[in-house]
Structure 1
Amino acid sequence: MEITLTQESLEELARLVAPLIQTKLEPDWVRLEDARADLFAGKAPAWIRLYVFDSFPEVQIENNPGGWVKSVHGHGTKVYMPIDRQWMREHHEQIDWNGRL
């Protein structure tokens, strides 16, 4: 049995199947380097540590089980994106974005 599909039927099939295909999800944990441009306006890691992680110690998992960053002053700093995005939106105005190192 052979099935012949027209361009229109292929487009209709694609439209019906597209919602069923899972897209690649963003990982929950990412390296600080991978989050810098998106969440921290491309600021340097040292700036992020000083003006965000140290200024708001509650974001550090070591200080608060509900925190969203681990290994702040060690190698391999990681941020938990689902909580990080929400926290950054809520605290954006409290961060000194013009602060200098």
Structure 2
Amino acid sequence: MELKLNEVELVLGKDGLQSLAKQLAPLIAPLIEEKKDWKKLEETRSDLFAGKSGSWIRLNIFDAFPEVQIENNKPGAWVKGVHGKGKVTKIYLPYARPWMHEHHDEIDWTAKEVR
């Protein structure tokens, strides 16, 4: 069933339409949030990096493959703020996901955490 916005307004009135929008906003917000291109490292650890710690990811991915670091001025780089003090590490997901799929077998997923 397809309803046009002006038809809904005719049925509900302006106040009813605003009430409906307020009820739908919390349901739609998570869908919009998922579309973000940039995410913090902490937000992507479980999904993109198999739950590895931030220090493991920095050593075994970001340092092992410096071409992924935006600060190194390489085309297709997808992470920034890897070693910045006081800076949040951010991942550009549209580039990170394909790169991770392509290089999955080159990453030593069994490497131990260095403390």
TM-score (norm 1): 0.76
**What is the aligned-residue identity percentage?**
55
Aligned partner (choices 76, 79, 86) of residue 66 of structure 1: 76
Alpha-carbon distance in structure 2 between the residues aligned to 1:84 and 1:34: 13
- Gap regions ≥5 residues in structure 2: 4-27
Secondary structure of the equivalent of 1:27? Answer: coil
Pairs aligned (count): 83
Q: Residue in 2 aligned with 1:91? A: 103
> 4+ residue stretches of structure 1 with deviation over 3 A?
none
Alpha-carbon distance in structure 2 between the residues aligned to 1:88 and 1:66: 12
Specify the code of the residue in structure 2 equivalent to 1:87.
W
- Gap regions ≥5 residues in structure 1: 1-12
TM-score (norm 2): 0.67
Encode CA deviations 1:35-59: one digit per residue, 9 max, x unaligned. 0000000000000000000000000
Q: Residue in 2 aligned with 1:3? A: none
Aligned partner (choices 36, 42, 58) of residue 51 of structure 2: 42
The one of the two structures with greater contact order (alpha-carbon pairs below 8 A, sep at least 6) is 1
- Correspondence 1:52 to 2:61: yes
Alpha-carbon distance in structure 2 between the residues aligned to 1:80 and 1:93: 21
